[in-house]
Amino acid sequence: MKALNRSFLIILVVSVVLLIVINRLNAAQGFSGDNTLTVYNWGDYIDPDVIQQFEEETGITVIYETFDSNEAMMTKIEQGGTTYDIAVPSEYTIEKMKEEDLLFELDHDKIPNLQYIDDRFLNLPFDENNRYSTPYFWGTVGIIFNPELLPEGMEITGWHDLWDPRLENQILLVDGAREIIGMGLNTLGYSLNDTNPEHLYETLDQLEKLTPNIRAIVGDENKMLMVNNEAAVAVGWSGDAADIMWENEAMDYVVPEVGSNLWFDNFVIPKTAKNIEGAHEFINFMLDPEISAQNTEYVSYSTPNKEALKYMPEEMVNDERFYPDAALTDKLEVYENLGKENLAFYNELFLQFKMYRK
């Protein structure tokens, strides 16, 4: 009897261990099942406690992977071999993904918390009636600067200031083709959706002239570098600026009125999804006002969830640098889907610019 019990125990332990190993292996390879959900998001773009709360509430295990650009995310999904249930593209990439039939339509009945999103973030041109996407965060591109490290008497108000020779080796640039080419185009007075090759080559020339002032082209490290006083200025996204200011109140952020980018990041369910039910549950959970407020406080980007604003600190919600009024946002442009060839040209120019620096 005892021997039988022991064999039973051994079989039980081996089975449990095997189950755990298979589960881990599946997770490592990105296989989703009913009880797992694979989320593909930008780096530094969610509060880990929120993921844990979702897991506890639903019993679904979240497998979490990150990317650092729309282009990297889309290439990975196009290539296949992944099972992402949720991805978080920006507007122009949603248009591309729709064109390439990479997205499932959303079932709005399963996302009742969509009612909490401010109308001005719904039904935008890149996704009419939010058939494929729901808003996550929004923001701008601008200049983050540390007044204490600027040369005496220098003020930063617009893109042209970045070319000031006194800023030698003092500027960090976000590693994004649309952001940097767009900044160059705006500096020259062109639209950041311009596709005229002459204007784009002129932009490349202009950007190459910025080279002596560039300290590094970086991703999420820009926050750490700014906080550690490694550079006086960074060109980047508004939420990173807010995060940096959280660490050092002396820092400031300006969106050049001559022109810049207004962007929207959104949840979608790619056709790679294996857990469509869970994906809807996740989106709905993330749009819950209290969860959204908690997540927004952690991430520092601007929430489109009007109900969530009620749970957030007033100084955050009333900061016009991160919740700009229509007078500023009307002057900004949203990236358009420029088509495969034009986007490839943008990427090529950005690469040339990065090579020129070396």
Using rule CB under 6 A, residue 336 touches ligand SPD: no
Q: Tally the C-alpha atoms within 13 A of residue 28's C-alpha that lie toward its C-beta.
A: 6
Ranges within 177-206 binding ligand SPD (CB under 6 A):
none
How near is the Cβ of 313 to ligand SPD at its closest, in Å?
Answer: 21
Stretch that binds ligand SPD, among 18-26, 43-51, 151-159, 195-203 (CB under 6 A): 43-51
Q: Which is nearer to ligand SPD, 145 or 237 (CB)?
A: 237
Q: Angle 340-357/177-187 helices, nearest 10 degrees?
A: 80
Reading the block at residue 342, the tokens are 């034009």
Site string for ligand SPD, 230-269 (x = CB under 6 A): -------x-------------------------x-x----
45 touches ligand SPD (CB under 6 A): yes
Output the CA angle 265-37-95, nearest 5 degrees: 30
Q: Are 231 and 145 in contact (CB under 8 A)?
A: no
Number of residues this chain uses to bind ligand SPD (CB under 6 A): 9
Stretch that binds ligand SPD, among 37-45, 102-110, 251-259, 348-356 (CB under 6 A): 37-45
* Known binding-site residue numbers for spermidine: 92
> Within 13 Å and on the Cβ side, how many CA atoms surround 224?
6
As given in the structure block, the two tokens for residue 275 are 């857990």
Cβ closer to ligand SPD: 95 or 265?
265
Stretch that binds ligand SPD, among 36-44, 159-167, 307-315, 321-329 (CB under 6 A): 36-44
Identify the residue among 32, 36, 82, 90 touching ligand SPD (CB under 6 A). 90
Q: Do β-strands 86-87 and 61-67 pair in parallel, antiparallel, or remain unpaired?
A: unpaired
**Which residue number, 42 or 267, has a Cβ lying nearer to ligand SPD?**
42
Binding flag, residue 285, ligand SPD (CB under 6 A)? no
- CA dist., res. 117 & res. 309, Å (int): 11
The two three-digit tokens of residue 250, written as one number = 């002396």
Shortest Å, Cβ 118 to ligand SPD? 19
Token pair of 159 as six digits: 């893109």
Are 65 and 39 within 8 A, CB to CB? Answer: yes
Q: How far is Cα of residue 168 from the mean position of the Cα atoms in its chain?
A: 29
User: In angstroms, what is the minimal distance from the CB of 358 to ligand SPD?
Assistant: 25
Q: Which is nearer to ligand SPD, 167 or 349 (CB)?
A: 349
**Residue span binding ligand SPD (CB under 6 A) among the ranges 14-22, 38-46, 144-152, 266-274:** 38-46
220 part of the interface to ligand SPD, by CB under 6 A:
yes
Contact 140, 309 (CB under 8 A): no
Q: Which is nearer to ligand SPD, 55 or 68 (CB)?
A: 68
State the nearest-atom distance from the C-beta of 201 to ligand SPD, in Å: 24
Residue 44 interacting with ligand SPD (CB under 6 A): yes
The β-bridge partners of 142 are 236
CA 278/CA 192 separation, integer angstroms: 37
Q: Which is nearer to ligand SPD, 90 or 146 (CB)?
A: 90
Using the rule CB under 6 A, give the single segment among 42-50, 122-130, 164-172, 180-188 that binds ligand SPD. Answer: 42-50
Q: Which helix (H) or strand (E) holds 185?
A: helix 177-187
**Torsion, Cα of 154, 156, 161, 162 (10° steps):** 110
What 8-state DSSP symbol labels residue 30? T
Q: Where do contacts with ligand SPD occur on this chain (CB under 6 A)?
A: 42-45, 90, 220, 237, 263, 265
